[in-house]
Amino acid sequence: MLLLLPILPESPRWLLMQDRFEDAEKIVERLHKGRAEADSGRIELALMRLQAEQDKTMDSSWKGMFTRPSYRKRAIIAMLIGILGQASGVTVINNFSPLIYSTLGFDPEETLILLCGWITGGIFASLIGAWLMDKFGRRPLILFGFGACCLCLIIVAVMIALFATPVPENPNMAAMGTAVAMLTIGWRYYLVFICVSGTALVWAFFMVPETKDLPLERIAELFGEEIELVATTSDSYGSEKGGHVERVEYTDIGSKWIDV
C-alpha cells in the first residue's frame, strides 16, 4: 500500500475543503476520463463543491462522530462490519488449522498443502472481491460473505463431529492457548462462531444500506442526513434549505459560479 501511494489521486473533496479547486478539477477529470457521460465529471464536481461549502460549517471532530446521529450510525456500521468479520471464526480456524486438519486425519504434508492453497487463494479472492464490489455493490457481498461463512462453519462443525479423531489425553495446554476450548468441547466450539455469523447476516440485512453508484454527497441521506443538495437540471445543482432552492449553474469547467 505504501508503494502505491505516489500514484493514488488525492481526494477531490479534501482538496475542495482546502480551497484547491483547480487541483480537484484535474483529478475529477482524470477519474471520469473515458466515461460515456461527457458531463458526468462536471456535474459531480459541482455537487462536490456545493457539499464542501456545507461541510465546512459542520462538526468534524471525533466527538461529533458519536454525538451526531447520522455520523454515529455510519461509525457503528463500519465498526461492526470489521468486528463481526473477525469474530466469525476466521482467526481461530487460521491459527489452529493444523490441529483441525490433524484431527480430520491429514498428515503434516497434506496439512501444509491445504494451508498454502488457502492462503494463496485468499490473495486472488481479495482482488476478485475488490473488482466485484463495484459490479454488484457492497451490500450483496457483505450478505453473501456472512451467509457463506455461517454455512462453511456449519459444514466444518459437522465434519469434526462425524470424522474427527480423538485428541490426545494430555495435550500441551499452554502451547495450545485458545485451542483448549477446541480440544475439550470439540465441534460445539464452532457453535459460537455460527451464532455470530448468523447474527451478523440478519443485522447486515436490516441495517447495512447499499451505496453502489452513489456519490458521497448522496450517501449521507441513507444515514439520516437531511437532503442538502438537489439536482435541478442536467447541468446545474442547488442547495435546498427550508423549502427555498438556491440554484447554482456553471457554463464550463473552471468557470465562475453564478447564483441564479
Query: Do 77 and 194 belong together in one domain?
Result: yes
Burial tier of 48 (Cβ tally within 10 Å: 0-12, 13-18, 19+): buried
Q: Which residue has the higher pLDDT, 189 or 168?
A: 189
58 and 104 co-located in one domain:
no
Same domain, yes or no: 48 and 112? no
The string of pLDDT tens digits covering residues 30-67 is: 887 766 666 777 777 888 888 788 777 777 788 888 88
Whether residues 10 and 138 fall in one domain: no
pLDDT score of 198:
93
Residue 19 has pLDDT above 90, yes or no: no
Q: Is the pLDDT of residue 96 over 60?
A: yes
Answer whether residue 149 shows pLDDT above 80: yes
Examine the pLDDT at 105 and tell me if it is beyond 70.
yes
The pLDDT mean for the chain works out to 75
* 78 shares a domain with 24: no
Domain-embedded: residue 10? yes
Q: Structurally, how many domains does the chain consist of?
A: 2
Whether residue 171 sits in one domain with residue 94: yes
Could you tell me if 91 and 23 lie in one domain? no
What residues make up the domain containing 81?
68-207
Are 163 and 186 members of one domain?
Answer: yes
